[in-house]
Structures are given as structure tokens and as C-alpha cells.
Chains A and B, each alone.
Chain A
Amino acid sequence: MTRLRPLLNLAIILIVWEIVGQFQLVASGALPAPSAVLLRLITDWSDYPLHIGATLYGAGVGFVIGNLVAVAAGVLFALYPVSARVARGLNVAIFALPPIAISPILVLTLSDMAPRIVLAALGCYFVTMTATVVGLTQADARAVDVVRAYGGGKWAALRFVQWRNALPTILSGLRIAAPNAVLGSILAEFGGGGRWGLGVYLLGSLGRAEPDRLWGIGLVATAIAALAYFAFAALSHFVTRGTQAVTVPSAVLSSGDKPRPAWQQALIIAASVALPFALWWVLLALLRVPTMIAKTPPGLFDYLFLLPSAPIAQGKLLAALAQTLPMTLVGMVCGLALAFALALSSQIWPAIVRAFMPVALVTQTMPLVALTPLLVLMLGRGPAVILWITISVTFFPAFVTMAQGLLQVPRAALDVPKAYGAGIFKQLRLVSVPASLPYLFAATRLTVPRALLGVMIAEWLATGTGLGNLLNQSRGYLDYGMIWAVAVISVLISVMFYQIVVAVERRTLGRLGMASAE
């Protein structure tokens, strides 16, 4: 019965959806019934193989390249902690960059499949890099000592102990990276032209007023992302079975860094800030993109501060920021609150939350372009639709992280209040919530860039306000300076929010003597 439970839930959801669709109960029929979507999918099927092939190609090549770079970088960072600190600015920037802002830049500077591949690779990089570093550095320090006690150096420790220890972690990273690659590729297809790809197909079908087809394309994209996820979940299960560590690693490998003089610290921080800008510059120089399209850091500075048109550009940018920033903050708080409430509910009413999960999963991978008409019809074009989209893109990763945190609360710690007769709420308040604080912060860090992404998508598709709209309009007006300005500023905002969360996290967890959760 327990095995059938998720299937039963799914069946209930499908039946409700079918009824809603058939009787046109939502948004006067803009939500098609699953049977209509399925029939449409069958009729259209001859169109699909080439589109799916192109999307898989972009996603696949990006996945391979992105993960190879990520693992190599992870190894470098784990073996030479200084390199991790120097690359920190770059890593945070890559983590925080909203794909919607970077996609036009990629389309402008690269050609053919390259933008899709790069965006897919970027979607993989941070997840896999972090997993690699965590997996390598959290290897059993005693086992590493054994290797070093026989004269083995960093590389021997890597070869005999760390990499194998990191393998399950890296595989679970790949599990998340795989759907990211698919979504990255589709997103770049929106802006990249070309004949084939699910994103291209979706855009081509937008003008047809056929929600059933849009849902069909969206669900196929979702299915591919889900398949990619489960393929790596299965692989990870296969690799790790029977080799779980027999003892909990007693000590986490310390970086072994001696304290550095202040000037060295300052140098490292300066290098970390300068690196993303240097890389931006160097890449443009290597690609030889015409200067009118490709703005270098000084070029952008000119555009924003020195050119005669600078005051106008500043004015537009500030006006857009004034619309986008408050919504980002509100959306972030709401997304986190919902995630937190759900995570707590999953402890109290696990069945209800499990039933809700399939719906939540679909909201994560359905291209928002396909959902926009529905959302606009239901929510209008005001702050409500921005909030809805922002919450829908933020809450899920935050929820997963928080739920994981609540699950990892040691049973023994819960037994104490239980032994004194505490109910579930008291247990949560006294033990679970404080104990999972590191995960709460990790969730907040995840949420920051996604909130900005959500707001910009909503502004672009629905409300026509703020940075999202400015970005879209600037592309139409060939206002390349503004495209770069919006992209760079949205990355800077994400990084800034991220750093604020990190600072609060360090203070709070430091005071409580807790370690941060990756």
C-alpha cells in the first residue's frame, strides 16, 4: 500500500486536472485537460524527434564540458585552498548569474550551438564543483593520514582516498546538474534562433493559441529533465551500494593553511574580485567580438558614466532597479517562508506534502513561457503574477534543502524532549529548527539568485516593468551597452545579496558554534 501511495496521489491529481480542464474551470479553459495534452502530443509527435535531438545535443555537450571543468576546478580548489579563495568571486558570480540576463550576451557573442552549450555548462558547473570540493575535503582525515604516513603527497591522497570518497557526492551533484543542463539549453534556444530544439519549437508554437501543445512541449521538457535526474540517481545508487563509510569521519580535513599576513589576505580578496572582470575581458578579446556588441569592463564604464547618453542610461537603469529590487526581496522572503512552512509540514503531515510534490516538481521544469498565458489569465499583470512566478522558481530548492536539514537532526537529540512528553510542535521549536539552522542559511543562499531570476522572467513575460523588460527592450533597440549593463548589474546584485546572507550566516552560526552546510 505504501508503495502504491504516490501512484494513487498522482491519479487523484490527474483526475482533478482532467475535470478542471474538461469543464474549463480555470482561466476560461487556458488550462488544458491532460487528455487533450496527450492527444495533441500524439498528433504532433512527428515534429518532436528533431527538436528533442537538438535540445539533447546542446544539453549533452554542455553537461560534459561543464562537469569536466567543474570536477577539475573542484580538485584544484580542494588540493590548493588558496586557489579556491582566489576563484571565490568567479564561483559566486557563476552561481548567481541569472540565465535570463546572460543568455542574450551569449547569443550576441557566440554562434550556432555554442550559446546553448555554454548555458547548459554554466548550469552544471557550480553544483558539480561544490559537490567535488565537499566530497574531496570531507574524506576521512584518518585515511588521508594513513596515506601521508607512507610518504604519500596530496595527489596520492587524492588518488587513493579522496576521489573515491567524493564519487557519491559528485554523482549526486550530477543528478542535479543533468536537469539544469536541459533547462539551460532550452533557455538559450529562446534567444538563439536556429531551426531545432524544444525551446525553438515552443517559441514557434506560441503564436498558435494552442495551450495543449505548449503544455505538451513543456511536459516533454520536464520528462527529459526528470529522466536525466533519475538516470544519475540510479547510477549513484549503483556506485555507492555496499561501500558506505563504516565510521562517521571523525574529523573534516582542515585546509592546513597557516594564518597569512594581512597584506596577503587583502591580495587574495582583491584577486578574487578582479578575476571575474579579468576573465570577462580576456574572453571577449579571444572571441574577437566587435566592440559595438561586446562591451568590455571599461566599455561598460564609458556607457554608464562617461558618454553623453550616460545620464539617460543611468536613469533607465535606476528606474528599473526601483521596480525590480523590492519585488525581489518580497519574492525571496515569500519563497523562503513557503519553503520553510512546507518543510515543517513535511514533518507534521508527511502524506500531504508527498502528494503535493509531483505538482511542485512540474513547476520547476515547465518552461515559464508556456505557463505565462495561464498565469496572466489567473493572476493578471500586477505584483501578484511577479510574486507567484518568483515563489514558484525559489521555493523548491529551498524546500528540499530545509527538509534535508530537518531530516538530519539526530534522533537522540529529539529523544530528550520526547522523553519529557514534548509534542511535535515543541520538538520542532526546541530541537529541529535550531539544529537545522545551517540548512536554513544554505537554502537562503540558494534562493537569492533565483528570486532575481523569477522577478526578471515575470517582468519580461507578463508585466513589462523593471530590469526584465529593460533587458528585452534593449535587445530590440540594439542598445548593447544597456544589455551588458543589465546583465552585469543583475549579477552584481545577486552576488551582493549572496554575500550579505553569507555574512549573517557566519556571524550567527559562529556564535552558535555550528558549521555551515553546503
Chain B
Amino acid sequence: MKLNLNRRNFLALAAAGATLPLTTRLAMAQATPFNFQASWINDAEFAGYFLAIDKGYYKDEGLDVTYLSGGPDVIPESSLIAGKADLTLTTPDTTIKAIVEQGAPFKIIGAQYQKNPIGIVSLASNPIKTPQDLVGKTLAVPPVNVISVEAMLKISGVDRAAVNIVPYAYDPTPLIKGEIDASLDFTTNVPFTIQQAGVEATSFLLYDFGFTIFNDTVVVTTDTLAAKRKEIVSFLRASRKGWEENLKDTTVYPPTFAETWFKGTGRSIENEVYFNTAQKPLMEAAGGIFSMSEEDIAKNIEALAAVGIAATREMFDTTVLEEI
């Protein structure tokens, strides 16, 4: 008996006359319901899925996809455990930590980003180009990502105590104003924001300094994998199709979402185009979108071991990808 509120009532009350659906249900009589929990608010990071929904790729696969937006305080894995979502995107370090420490029944079945877009962003006027440059500096990191930064510092041989790590609430203002020297954020996104504020930014990826992990790893629970394997494969197939279409020309699709997916997010379309363009090289892989090569999985395991997270090959399941 889960407390659930009728979205229709909500819409009627909250926005009488609004035609925009709160979540998109591709209502099909026979379509199988499938809930997808995104890892962030609606931005270009999820352009492929928006496209697949708008173009009916999921519908063609017989899926009725409900898209659940994320945000800084939404923990995607929790949605899986709570049964709110069938599939989600995560950062592999937290997922694997949860498998090891909490016994969470997760399987990583794909990876949206072959290279983690997370990096250290700083101002060109006070550039931080390598982990060594961080010594004696103040770095703002979202509390969730502190372990990633600690891993990168350790791999690069920088003393953790030499860096002043403070919480980061995803607002670049303190960086622009010089209160902090650098922040950990998506390099596909924040440099644009900083440029908009009239300052030049510079950045480097944690990936390039030894913290070689994926990001937006596709995660399901072992139960769901057993029960809905067919739907999961269908979802990945349609999503891959959406991404491939979106990445053909990264400037084409973001503007088409302006009045739907991106409405009311407080972000500009130029920002989304920048994001979409910047993420392309981090996503493309020889095996196609979502692929996880043996070599890359090994790199992940190695990088995580450096932070004391004991990842194993069994946590990654590449067999689903093979069925696409």
C-alpha cells in the first residue's frame, strides 16, 4: 500500500489548462509499463531518452515508459530499491559501494558515459590543470562525490590533507567570485555557465588522472533483471536508437525540447546545445552506446580499488547488451 497521489488531480489543480504532461506516459493499451529514473534534472544529459520518447521508439518496442526526473537530492538507486523505478542511471562508485557495504542487489548492465564527465573546474585566471595544482587550494565537492576526488588525489599522489574540500551545492557563484579555487562538476556543463557570467573556465577530467570510471551506469536490481529482461533489452535498444539519432548533429534536438522537456528548468537552450556537443566524445564507443568493454570494466575495478571499494567483475553484466 504505497501512498500515491493521482497525477491527474494534481495537474488539474496545479496547472489548470496546461497541456504539458508532468511525466510522459505513452499510453498504449497493451504496452508494458516501464519506469525510468533519471539521475539529474531535465537537461541534455538525457536528450537521447527524450528523443526516444518523442519519436515513439519505446512505443515501437511495446514499452509504456514513465520518465522520472532526478535532481541533486534524488538518489537514483533508492528509487530502484523502493520499487519506484525499474532502471536507473548512477555513478558506479556509489552503486558498487552500496553493493559491497549494504548488500544492495544491483547489477550494472551498461554505461552511458564511457569516460566520466566529472572533472575539476577552475577559472582560467587561476587555472588548476592537474591534481598537483590543487595543493593548498579550496575545492568544492558535492558530499556524494568526495570519495571520487579522494581516489583521484590518491592515484595522483597528492596528499588529501593538503586540499581543503568544502561542500558544493552546484552553484558556481562562489567559484566565479573567487571564494573557492575549484569545484567538482560536469565539465560538459559548468564551463558554459561560467562563460556566460563573463569569465573563462578551464577544466580537467578525473578520468584523465587515473580515476578511470564510467558514469551514468545503467543499473537494475537482480530481481528486475530476472523478471523483466525482455523489457530492459527493449528499453536499451530504443534508448540507443534515440542517442544515435541525437548525436548525429548535437545542435538539432535540444531546441525541440524547449517547450516540453526543458520547460521551467531555468536553463537556456544554448547551454543544452553546449552540453550535448561536449558529451558526445565521452559517450561514443566502438561497441555502441551503453557498451562496456572488458578493458574498461577492468579500469573501473582498478580505479575503485584505489579508494578501497572492492568492485568485482560479477557486478557488471554485459550479457544484456549482447541481446540488443
Contact = CB atoms under 8 A, between A and B. Distances in A.
Interface of A: 27-30, 44, 47, 49-51, 53-54, 56-57, 60, 104, 107-114, 117, 190-196, 200-201, 203-209, 211, 213-214, 286-290, 292-293, 309, 369, 372-373, 376-377, 381, 460-464, 469, 472-473, 475-480
Given A54-B10, A290-B81, 11 more contacts: A30-B177, A60-B13, A110-B3, A111-B3, A195-B23, A195-B69, A203-B71, A206-B72, A209-B171, A209-B197, A372-B171
Contacts of B41: 200, 203-204
B167 A469 contact: yes
A206 B171 contact: yes
A475 B13 contact: no
Interface stretch (B50-58, B236-244, B264-272, B313-321): B264-272
B277 interface: no
5 contacts: A28-B177, A207-B171, A461-B169, A478-B78, A478-B98
A113 B14 CA distance: 12
Nearest to B186: A207
Contacts of A377: 173-174, 177, 179
B29 interface: no
Nearest to A28: B177
Q: Which of A205, A472, A477 has the most CB of B within 10 A?
A: A477
Contacts of A54: 10, 14-15
Given A50-B15, A196-B14, A203 B72 contact: yes
Contact of A372 (B94, B169, B177, B263): B169
A153 B74 CA distance: 52
A376 B98 contact: no
Contact of B167 (A117, A207, A463, A475): A463
Interface of B: 1-5, 7, 10, 13-15, 18, 20, 22-23, 41-42, 68-75, 77-78, 81-84, 94, 97-98, 101-104, 142-146, 165-167, 169-174, 176-179, 185, 189-190, 193-194, 196-197, 263-267
B172 A209 contact: yes
B177 A113 contact: no
B196 A56 contact: no
Nearest to A380: B179
Contact of B15 (A53, A104, A206, A476): A53
Contacts of A114: 3-5
Nearest to A111: B84
Contacts of B1: 286-288
Given A113-B5, A114-B4, A53 B266 contact: no
B102 A480 contact: yes
A57 B82 contact: no
Question: When A and B form their complex, which 4 residue pairs have the shortest distance between CB atoms, in order from nearest?
Answer: A476-B144, A53-B14, A205-B266, A464-B167
Nearest to A378: B179
A476 B1 CA distance: 27
B interface SS class: loop
A117 B77 CA distance: 23
Contacts of B189: 207
A interface SS class: helix
A108 B172 CA distance: 28
Contact of A369 (B7, B144, B169): B169
B69 A57 contact: no
Contact of A193 (B69, B77, B145): B69
Nearest to A312: B101
A209 B77 contact: no
Q: Which of A117, A209, A286, A473 has the most CB of B within 10 A?
A: A209
B84 to A, nearest CB: 5
Given A203-B72, A206-B171, A461-B169, A309 B14 contact: no
Contacts of A200: 41, 71
A206 B169 contact: yes
Nearest to B164: A381
Given A207-B189, A213-B266, A50 B18 contact: yes
Contacts of A60: 13
A47 B15 CA distance: 12
B165 A464 contact: yes
A29 B266 contact: no
A290 B177 CA distance: 45
Given A50-B14, A200-B71, A292 B81 contact: yes
Given A476-B143, A477-B98, A191 B74 contact: yes
Contacts of A53: 13-15
B170 to A, nearest CB: 5
A203 B43 CA distance: 13
A98 B4 CA distance: 24
B148 to A, nearest CB: 10
Contacts of B173: 30, 209, 211, 373, 377
B167 A478 contact: no
A139 B190 CA distance: 61
Contacts of B143: 464, 469, 472-473, 476
Contact of A293 (B68, B70, B78): B78
Nearest to A460: B167
B140 to A, nearest CB: 9
B104 A478 contact: yes
A211 B169 CA distance: 13
Q: Which of B69, B170, B178, B266 has the most CB of A within 10 A?
A: B266
